[in-house]
A and B are shown apart, each in its own frame.
Chain A
Amino acid sequence: GNSVTQMEGPVTLSEEAFLTINCTYTATGYPSLFWYVQYPGEGLQLLLKATKADDKGSNKGFEATYRKETTSFHLEKGSVQVSDSAVYFCALSGASRGGYQKVTFGTGTKLQVIP
């Protein structure tokens, strides 16, 4: 079945540092890949997505490239801010029985950015 593996947290960075959160996946077919973010006390928000190989998703300074050859979708940001502190979930969506999608999530990586 589908699975997502992402780096363990927590990750603690100073403001303006470079961020990488690694994510690899296992899936049949051609899944779509997502990063969701969960700010403290809030729900899951879609951060960015990529639907096919070599696509780059980007939003709010975050980027991730769909690498089919390495089955990876690493999240990067060049300069993090305190407001980026949250839990980040790598996820994939693939066709399941009946053609309906379900999202498979990684375990989440907590990011803490200190001033």
Chain B
Amino acid sequence: EPEVTQTPSHQVTQMGQEVILRCVPISNHLYFYWYRQILGQKVEFLVSFYNNEISEKSEIFDDQFSVERPDGSNFTLKIRSTKLEDSAMYFCASTNRGGNQPQHFGDGTRLSIL
């Protein structure tokens, strides 16, 4: 069964540094998402992306965050200047159409900010 893949599985970065989290959505999917889960807390929506533009973003997704689909397969989340509170598990998800279709999630990238 096709999977959403995320790399790296664990990223350790110094505070203030830029970090890029990478995702390869399922190949025929058109809608892409990022979520985060701070340790012990709920999974929170960050951003949705369709047709090469952001369709919705949460209040968490401030100017430090950006997303990009640089080619036909990758979907990236960039944090420009990381803060301690950015430490979390970041999940990428995709689905092949809009509406209330279930999203397929990757295994996540654990981001640790020192």
Chain A positions within 8 Å of B, measured between CB atoms, are 31-32, 34, 36, 42-46, 49, 51, 89, 91, 93-108
Contact partner of B102 among A34, A89, A98, A102, CB < 8 A?
Answer: A34
B72, chain A: closest CB distance, angstroms: 20
User: Are A106 and B42 touching (Cβ within 8 A)?
Assistant: yes
- How long is the Cα–Cα vector from A42 to B33 in the complex, in angstroms? 18
Task: Give B63-79 as 1s and 0s: 1 = Cβ < 8 Å from A's Cβ atoms.
Answer: 00000000000000000
User: Are B31 and A31 touching (Cβ within 8 A)?
Assistant: no
Residues of B within 8 A of A91 (CB): 43
Whose C-beta in chain A lies nearest to the C-beta of B109? A43
Given contacts A89-B43, A102-B45, A107-B41, contact A95 B105 (CB under 8 A): no
Residues of A within 8 A of B105 (CB): 36, 43-46
Given contacts A97-B55, A100-B50, A103-B93, 18 further A-B contacts (CB under 8 A): A31-B100, A36-B105, A43-B6, A43-B107, A43-B108, A44-B43, A89-B42, A91-B43, A93-B102, A94-B100, A95-B100, A96-B56, A97-B56, A101-B99, A105-B43, A105-B44, A106-B42, A107-B42
User: Are A102 and B98 touching (Cβ within 8 A)?
Assistant: no
Q: Is B29 an interface residue (CB 8 A)?
A: no
- A and B contact pairs by CB, cutoff 8 A, 12 listed: A34-B102, A43-B107, A44-B105, A93-B100, A95-B99, A101-B31, A101-B95, A101-B101, A103-B33, A103-B43, A105-B43, A107-B41
Contact partner of A100 among B6, B42, B48, CB < 8 A?
Answer: B48
User: Are B56 and A102 touching (Cβ within 8 A)?
Assistant: yes
Q: Is B83 an interface residue (CB 8 A)?
A: no
Interface of B, helix, strand, loop or mixed by DSSP:
strand
User: Are B55 and A100 touching (Cβ within 8 A)?
Assistant: yes
Residues of A within 8 A of B6 (CB): 43
Whose C-beta in chain B lies nearest to the C-beta of A49? B102
B111, chain A: closest CB distance, angstroms: 14
Residues of B within 8 A of A31 (CB): 100
A113, chain B: closest CB distance, angstroms: 21
